[in-house]
A and B are shown apart, each in its own frame.
Chain A
Amino acid sequence: MTDAVLTRLAGLFGELLPADAVITDPVRLRTYDCDGLTYHRATPGIVVLPDTAEQIAAVVRLCDEYGVPFVARGSGTGLSGGALPRTDGVLIVTSRMRRILEIDLQNRRAVVEPGVTNLAITEAVRDQGYYYAPDPSSQQICSIGGNVAENSGGAHCLKYGFTVNHILGLEIVTPDGEIVELSADDPGYDLLGAFIGSEGTLGIATKITVRLSRAPEAVTTLLAAFTGIEAGGQAVSAIIAAGIVPAAIEMMDALAIEAAEAAVNCAYPQGAGAVLIVELDGPHAEVGHQFAEVERICRESGAFEIRVAASAEERAAIWKGRKSAFAAVGRISPAYIVQDGVVPRTALPEVLAGIDRLQEEYGIRVANVFHAGDGNLHPLVLFDDAVPGQGERAEAVSGRILDLCIEHGGSITGEHGVGVDKSRYMPKMFTEEDLDTMQLVRCAFDPRGLSNPGKVFPTPRLCGEVPGVRKGVHPLVESGRAEQF
């Protein structure tokens, strides 16, 4: 894309949006050059800060007209580079669209704009005894639009499901600039389900109807300390086998505990090789019953200390160490990579042993924090960027961990998405046919490939104009930069 086109577009945007909503100053533009994954950076060509769906639609229509790619961005906390801008494109940021439009407790739903933060929804209904269930650790800042795009999960998704299970309707702007309503109640294809988790490649969500959940009557949180991670894993299996679905089961290993101690003094039991956090919620009677069961299982699996939170403060204290874990490893290591992979719960012991072997093989430390209930690992691969070669080795370990996940029938991402970061792993998890079939959806929504191109899928692909009818060879295909699809 030539600069002239961008300049022309910026001028046209200026006619549609307030002056301060179109950013072209290079210094300002650069502050948008990355999301939560900082080693991929690109300064956007133009940034717009729209206020309404109509403005987004108008901007997208112009992009379509000029063949300029666009990328949506919420709060920029994504961890897979999903919101990485295009230097030749437009970054559409929803941070000014943060109104809660409607709260309907009777029908347990709320309608919000995409820039509203996940936590803001819960805060708006908490006093009435409701909440929005999916709770990514970044909930105080990540936008609901970003959550929709990433199908975000959180610690409590074990029992309550992910974003996709809590979205009742969407208003989207399609990549050709149409405003379309998708509702879980309408007959027809589940485009809602297809859109959620599509990482901004199928259009931009401009209005979101979420399901609100009733706050549980009772919540019990327990912290169990084990000498090693195996015993903790055994407890997890036994809890599930006993037919209990806790709201959350989280595990941290010794290194992760060390980091959390350094950052927030969480005061977990001394000498713990692993801690397990189990949270049960629901009706009093049920929670009481299950709690006794969980406590017994933990003891039988070798827990040497069990703490039970008696108040909201104590619960917060237990969670504090876990919730700060990502950022906290910054205190024990100059640099680190947050990995996100999933394995079947029963394969956890093997995979953890595999990670141990990798640590030895590469001389790299890995701190493990994970959503043990659903086998979602967040290994934190630690390295010192001042030591030559360590970064590469850490990168290698991080990749090998994903290989382990795939080998054991798991996934390369449980919640952070594919983005730019993991698109190269997609062919390891899926066949070419699988990916081509996914591309069919992409081509239906975005035949010109302008909506967040270069994300999720490994090779840029072009959609044939009309199925079955192929025209001359596209220049990108000719030059080997893309494959015709």
Chain B
Amino acid sequence: MNDDAGAEEVLTAALTDTGVAIRPAGPDDSVAGVRPRWVALPEATEEIAALMRVTSAHDLAVVTTGAGTKLHWGHPPERCDVLIDTCCLNEILEHEAGDLVVRVQAGVPLDALARALAAKGQELAIDVPLEGGTVGGLLATGIAGPRRFRYGTARDLIIGITVVLADGTIAKAGGKVVKNVAGYDLGKLFTGSYGTLGVIADATFRLHPLPTARAWVTATFDRPVTETQGTREDEKGVAFDTASVDVADEIRVIVPAVAESQAEPSAIEVDWPDVNGPCVIAVLVEGAAAAERARAVQDMMGEKAQVADEPPEWWGRLPGLPGLPGPADRAGDEGVLLEFRNVASRLPGTFVGPFSTAATTGTRPAVRGSLASGVLHVALPPGTEPAAAAAFVGALRAECEDAGRVVVLTAPEEVARRVDRWGHVGGLTLMRRVKDRFDPERRMSPGRFVGGI
């Protein structure tokens, strides 16, 4: 006991010696239920490096957090000694408006960044479906919102990065010019890596001018799916009943027409709070002559469609109950949140998958997300029976087969234990090899990522 306490003191001293603000971790600091021993608050890239050298020397495991909005995503870490909180790395380092480029530290809150850019008539064209996040969190999870259809995601807009590796090496890649093919693109590699390769210190993004105008066209569809009862004969000529589920003809016609139309929508989103009920489809058009183009979309979407210059209140938010997700360590009492991609069958898969799966597993999923790019979020309400939730995940994967991907973003322990969080991962062996090179001692968010990386 004494020895342990002694060792703890030595470590605390070593960490404090770096000059970085260190405090002991409290219960509120847990990472998906795992409580770190210290929280470090570095203010500069050099400070992160100093910390990493100490953790390297003493074999301490490290998890990085921004505002903590997505800290409960992914597996709980196998171990966590130091939580690096990037809150004090909150400077916008460079914004040369004429170059449409910004370089920011990882801890900069996204809303603060948006305000600063808007003052110059520009924006980082990623809609994060959660409030309060930071640049680092956005990058580590690679999350994106409605306008991914037009602008892509963080990996498409990042042009430079500075990272600190497990051993304290500071490395950068890319630069501050949009067009650049010198060297490997570490920015993309770190985007969506859940903190398992190193600490992102700052990043440089390509910006877009704020659109001069925006308009949303929304329409409600009472029955997004149709069920057809029929009979068929098997090879022996014996008749049997069949039921087939399909996306409603209306939607099947309208959505592709809008997506391919020359009105050039920036996003096409669906909100389907209950798969047994109606859904709302909303289309965003931006830029010059937005109003005119919105009218063209309205014509395509039928009489019920309405044009507004404000988004519907659910726009660009995660599905599920109000209040989800909550503060950092609420994984235990939250519902299940899935990311659901329809790789090769965007439209029918989006509707038929959750609908059929809900019926067979007795669950009540809520669906929201991008119809145009086939990336949706599916939420199961808190209190969903863990077995049913697990069954839902499995059944949804089976339903969409090769054409879809289901990733469990958040899930209560009980559910998490029963499911394969990540599903199919191509190139896992290569990913393990990458991890081995960057973090051979497995100290960076160990176990949080695909294949237990």
In-complex A–B contact (CB below 8 Å): yes
Interface of A toward B, CB cutoff 8 Å = 104, 106-107, 109, 129, 150-151, 153, 157, 161-162, 164-165, 174, 178, 180-183, 185-194, 196-198, 214, 216-217, 237, 240-241, 243-245, 282-286, 288-290, 342-346, 371, 374-376, 409-418, 422, 426, 429-431, 433-438, 440-445, 456, 467-468
Minimum CB–CB distance from A240 to chain B (whole Å) comes to 7
Q: Which of B172, B341, B428, B431 contacts A434 (CB 8 A)?
A: B172
Contact A409 B175 (CB under 8 A): yes
Known: A181-B426, A409-B175. A437 touches B186 (CB 8 A): yes
Residues of B within 8 A of A245 (CB): 208-209
Q: B424-435: contact bitstring with A at CB < 8 Å (1 yes, 0 no)?
A: 111111110110
Contact of B98 among A216, A345, A409 (CB under 8 A): A345
User: Does B129 count as interface, using CB distance less than 8 angstroms?
Assistant: no
Bound-state CA distance A430–B173 (Å) is 8
B:169-186 near A, CB below 8 Å: 169-173, 175-186
Contact (A151, B208) CB under 8 Å given A189-B189, A193-B191: no
Is B289 in the interface zone, CB < 8 Å from A? yes
- Among A104, A345, A371, A426: residue with most chain B CB under 10 A: A345
List the 7 closest pairs (A to B, CB-CB), nearest first.
A193-B188, A285-B289, A243-B209, A437-B171, A217-B262, A467-B440, A411-B180
User: What 0/1 pattern do residues 67 to 104 of B give for CB contact below 8 A with A?
Assistant: 00000000000000000000000000000111111000
CB of B182 within 8 A of CB of A426, answer yes
- Separation in Å of the A395 CB from the closest CB of chain B? 19
CB closest residue in chain B, given A411: B180
Contacts A240-B98, A344-B177, A415-B179 given: A193-B185 contact, CB under 8 Å? Answer: yes
Say whether B229 faces chain A, with CB atoms less than 8 Å apart: no
A190 to B190, alpha carbons, bound, how many Å?
8
- A-B contacts at CB below 8 angstroms, number: 243
Residues of B within 8 Å of A153, CB to CB, are: 179, 181
Residues 318-330 of chain B: 1 if any A CB is under 8 Å from the residue's CB, otherwise 0?
0000000000000
Selected A-B contacts with CB under 8 Å, 23 pairs: A104-B344, A107-B374, A150-B181, A165-B152, A187-B407, A188-B427, A189-B450, A214-B260, A214-B264, A216-B264, A217-B264, A344-B99, A344-B101, A345-B99, A346-B96, A374-B177, A374-B178, A409-B177, A431-B171, A434-B183, A437-B169, A438-B186, A468-B440
Count contacts on B: residues with CB < 8 A to the other chain: 77
Q: Say whether B422 faces chain A, with CB atoms less than 8 Å apart.
A: yes
Taken residue by residue from 155 to 172, chain B's Cβ proximity to chain A (1 for < 8 Å, 0 otherwise) reads as: 110000001010001111
Interfacial chain B residues near A413, Cβ < 8 Å? 180-182
CB <8 Å contact, A185 and B191: no
Q: A185, B405: Cβ atoms under 8 Å?
A: yes
**Which residue on A lies nearest to B97, using beta carbons?**
A241
Check if A183 sits within 8 Å of B426, measured CB to CB: yes
Closest-by-CB residue of B relative to A437 is B171
Q: Residues of B with Cβ closer than 8 Å to A?
A: 96-101, 121, 142, 152, 155-156, 163, 165, 169-173, 175-186, 188-189, 191-193, 197, 208-210, 212, 256, 260, 262-264, 287-289, 292-293, 341, 343-346, 374, 405, 407, 422-431, 433-434, 436-438, 440, 449-451
Q: Provide the residues of chain A in CB contact with B263, threshold 8 Å.
A: 283
Whether B425 contacts A187 by the Cβ 8 Å rule is yes
Which A residues touch B440, using CB under 8 A?
A: 467-468
Measured between beta carbons, the chain B residues less than 8 angstroms from A106 are 256, 346
CB-contact partner of B182 in A191, A282, A289, A412, under 8 A: A412
Q: Is the CB of B433 within 8 A of A444?
A: yes
Contact residue among A157, A183, A289, A375 (Cβ-Cβ distance under 8 Å from B289): A289
A290 to B289 CA separation, bound complex (whole angstroms) = 10
Tell me the complex Cα distance, A164–B184, Å: 12
A353–B287 CA distance with the chains assembled, in angstroms: 36
User: In the complex the two chains form, is A286's CB within 8 Å of B185's CB?
Assistant: no
**Complex CA–CA separation, A346 to B100 (angstroms):** 10
Tell whether, in the assembled complex, residue A194 and residue B189 are in contact, meaning their CB atoms are under 8 Å apart: yes
B183–A426 contact, CB under 8 A? yes
Measured between C-beta atoms, what is the minimum distance from A101 to chain B in Å? 14
B208 lies within 8 A of A165 (CB): no
